Amino acid sequence: MTDRLARLRALMTEQQVEALLVTGEANRRYLSGFTGSAGALLITPDDALLLTDARYVEQAAQQAPHFRVVPVTHTTYGRTVAEEAQKRGVRRIAFEAHRLTYAAYSAYREALPEGVELVPMGTGGMGLVERLRVVKDDGELALIRKAAAIVDAAFEHILSVLRPGLTEREVAWELEAFMRKQGAERAAFPIIVASGPRSALPHGVASDRVIGKGELVTLDFGAVYQGYCSDLTRTVAVGEPPEELKKIYEIVRQAQERGVAHVKAGMTGKEADALCRDVIAAAGYGEQFGHSTGHGIGLEVHEAPSLSARSEEPLPAGAVVTVEPGIYLPGVGGVRIEDDVVLTATGSECLTRAPKDLIMVT
């Protein structure tokens, strides 16, 4: 954690930030190690304060030994920040504009004395701490690898369960229960089980629909292990699917495998996106692939960087990203295949290892 604080302070100096108020839960955990649900950090060049209420004071002291724990109530955060800023002669406090609600911002602003300014940072969704979080250290990678192993095992398990007559919700619960038994804290997001025509919904969260024969079923699920996420998508067939769906499955598989094989540090998010998008567009389905190719994962299941046609940012070594192209035919069905990939100085390594050939269960 001390290394993370040092790197943050270097960024603060670069951006001429006197003090930084950190309120985002993932950012707070990343910098301090504190896992409680309530708290804020105040970081200056010389001090690191963790403000939290009586429920978490002891926990905070244990988990964040490099921070001075300051007890507050839910109504005194602003006053305490104001007092600590005055002690240090701070005139400008940067805050995470994309993490702080307007109500909380107003409370902080009203508590600050005249002459002390709140300065928004990260209005585009990328604040100082998020910039640090893009590159994972060895400890973070070990946790993501474990989360990836859990979803791989869950996919293998669900193949023995999936059959016609089950509802999507039943399949989703079986996936979540299995992941928890394997050590997951929780699912990383509401599990997507989308069958038949619903597989054309990129975010078709599990419903009460009964899975029928001859249908594709898209399974998109992730595990959280010690705070870190994995994210896996596989599309399987229940019985023999129509030829058109077999065709788009093969196109998506080829596109996705090309992306996994060739994505690397140094290319832009746009270039990474094109690895998959160009294959799908060349096959005549460009209009049926409406989302980006991927996103970063870590303490949050969606974080920087972005593998998007709009991203000109280069991808750094040490980032963990998803590669997840898809084709979606409204009223017919859809296919998405997704893996988690860590970018290295020499290429990439795929962390999720579930099979990608079209599997037909009966």
Burial of 96 (0-12, 13-18, 19+ CB in 10 A): buried
Give the per-residue pLDDT at 122: 79
Q: Residue 236: beta bridge partners?
A: 217
* Rounded distance between C-alpha atoms, residue 250 and residue 253, angstroms: 5
Give the per-residue pLDDT at 1: 77
For 92-106, write each residue's pLDDT tens digit. Answer: 999 999 999 999 999
Is 252 in contact with 293 (CB distance < 8 Å)?
no
* Rounded distance between C-alpha atoms, residue 68 and residue 7, angstroms: 19
* Rounded distance between C-alpha atoms, residue 25 and residue 247, angstroms: 43
Q: At what angle do helices 2-14 and 25-32 cross, to 10 degrees?
A: 120
Find the angle CA(111)-CA(112)-CA(115) to the nearest 5 degrees.
Answer: 155
Residue-averaged pLDDT of the chain? 95
* Rounded distance between C-alpha atoms, residue 229 and residue 238, angstroms: 28
Can you list the domains of the chain with their CATH numbers? 2-132 (3.40.350.10), 134-361 (3.90.230.10)
Sheet holding 360-361: strands in order across?
A: 192-195, 215-221, 232-238, 360-361
Residue for token pair 């609600």: 101
For 197-221, write each residue's pLDDT tens digit. Answer: 999 999 999 999 999 999 999 999 9
Is 325 in contact with 255 (CB distance < 8 Å)?
yes
Give the per-residue pLDDT at 125: 66
C-alpha of 359 from chain center:
27
Give the per-residue pLDDT at 230: 98
Give the per-residue pLDDT at 115: 85
For 112-122, write each residue's pLDDT tens digit. Answer: 888 899 999 87
SS3 277: helix
* Rounded distance between C-alpha atoms, residue 264 and residue 342, angstroms: 9
For 31-79, write each residue's pLDDT tens digit. Answer: 999 999 999 999 999 999 999 999 999 999 999 999 999 999 988 999 9
pLDDT tier at 360, thresholds 50, 70, 90: very high
Q: Which alpha helices (DSSP H) does the chain contain, by range?
A: 2-14, 25-32, 57-63, 77-87, 102-111, 128-133, 138-159, 168-181, 243-262, 269-282
For 141-194, write each residue's pLDDT tens digit. Answer: 999 999 999 999 999 999 999 999 999 999 999 999 999 999 999 999 999 999
